[in-house]
Amino acid sequence: MKREPAVWRLRVESDDDLWTLSHLARPGLQLGMLGERRDQTTSGEEGGRAKVAERKKMWIRLNIESTEYQPFSELLRIHGIIDEAKFDVGLHHTHVVEVRDDVEITAATAFTTADYDLLRESEKAAQQVSVALAMVETDEIVLFYITPRGLKEGATWTMRGGGKRGDIKQSSGVTATFRSNIIKAVKATLDETTPLLLCGPGHARETLLKEFQSSGEVRFMKSIATSMAGRAGANELLREGLAGDLLSEYAITKETTLLEEAWKRLSTNGAVAYGPKDLMRAMEEGAIETFLITAELLRSTEASIGGMQWSTWVNGLSSIGADLIQCSSDHDAGQQLIGMGGAIALLRYTM
């Protein structure tokens, strides 16, 4: 809504925007938005009973101390000391930021190149819709949501339970009723414009797709074969690019594909580097082609490489023509990256 060298006014429009804001709003910066504080001057005695202080809405600007964000929690907590408000300046306060809130971030001098890159990626992601992914087996269906930045597990419907195989739970009538109930539940759960991918091993997904179409469903739907079911199958879809162009521009797809390439190169002693010593050598030689780092590590004030913070070190990437990819840890590939120290580089050649 407003963009100056040291002041950004932003409107949060999605869970992914909350993820972006959780990394932009870091210690050393200020964040202002409408909030509430109790006005202690309105407390006291009234009619012989204690009078509770009134809550008053006002503009509150904080010097940011820390943030708390849980993926897909639909809110972000930002803690800090009040720098500007009608009263209580100097006291602690927590802003709870939700979708559709407006916030203003102020930097001491100017925002970093990495901040600008993250903001541009967020603007691009705003044009991309969430995609529903149903991992289908005969007796269990798990619904996932793929956003540009993460993979969220939703509802699970199952016929599994005790008893011997071949009992009534396995009868065609019961499985048909099970599928019918799933179709009703999915229609009630998803927005009518949300694309739906039906994935999994076997033919159960094809049967479910035909019944979806017979029910009059007109949303974009596609059946995709995967070798695994459940979350493993969802990751296979992202890793192998099985959804084609539908997800090709999503950050989560690009990150997963690049990290999968890094793991392959690691297993074959290929053109890849990780760990401070090898990364510094690769930077010095200009060997880095693509550098992947978690957004958390990039902005950490405690972690360092070569005696400098990561946010300073990555400035050298532009001089050697390397790409910087800020990765989310809200999907399995991002968690693997954390396990490798949070940073890895794809190289132009093997060192």
Q: pLDDT tens digits for 116-138? A: 999 998 888 877 778 999 999 98
139 and 84, same structural domain?
A: no
Domain boundary among 96, 125, 154: 125
CATH number at residue 298: 3.30.1330.30
The bridge status of strand 49-51 relative to strand 44-46 is antiparallel
109 and 149, same structural domain?
A: no
Which DSSP string corresponds to 108-168? SS---HHHHHHHHHHHHHTTS--EEEEEE-SSEEEEEEE-SS-EEEEEEEE---SS-TTSG
226 and 161, same structural domain?
A: yes
Q: Coil, strand or helix: which one is 342?
A: coil
| Total domain count, the chain | 3
259 and 191, same structural domain?
A: no
Residue 83: closest CA among 2, 41, 28 = 28
Domain boundary among 246, 270, 290: 246
- Looking at the predicted structure, is the pLDDT value of residue 70 above 90? no
Per mean pLDDT, which range of 8-12, 164-168, 260-264, 334-338 is the poorest? 164-168
What is the pLDDT confidence band of residue 44, given thresholds at 50, 70 and 90? low
The bridge status of strand 288-294 relative to strand 323-327 is parallel
Burial class (CB in 10 A: 0-12, 13-18, 19+), 255: buried
Write out the two tokens for 101. Answer: 């809130």
311 and 238, same structural domain?
A: no
Q: What is the mean pLDDT of residues 300-311?
A: 92
Q: With 0.85 as the threshold, say if the pTM is over it.
A: no
8 and 111, same structural domain?
A: yes
CATH number at residue 154: 3.30.420.60
Single-letter residue type at 288: I
What is the pLDDT confidence band of residue 168, given thresholds at 50, 70 and 90? very low
Quote the pLDDT of residue 172: 66
> Could you tell me the end-to-end alpha-carbon distance of the chain, in angstroms, rounded to an integer?
46
184 and 99, same structural domain?
A: no
65 and 24, same structural domain?
A: yes
Check residues 321 and 244 and name the one with the higher pLDDT. Answer: 321
Per mean pLDDT, which range of 19-23, 46-50, 76-80, 340-344 is the poorest? 46-50
Q: What range defines the domain where residue 223 resides?
A: 131-246
Contact 351/287 with Cβ under 8 angstroms? yes
336 and 261, same structural domain?
A: yes
CATH number at residue 11: 2.30.30.870
Check residues 281 and 150 and name the one with the higher pLDDT. Answer: 281
118 and 10, same structural domain?
A: yes
Domain boundary among 125, 158, 183: 125
96 and 42, same structural domain?
A: yes
328 and 264, same structural domain?
A: yes
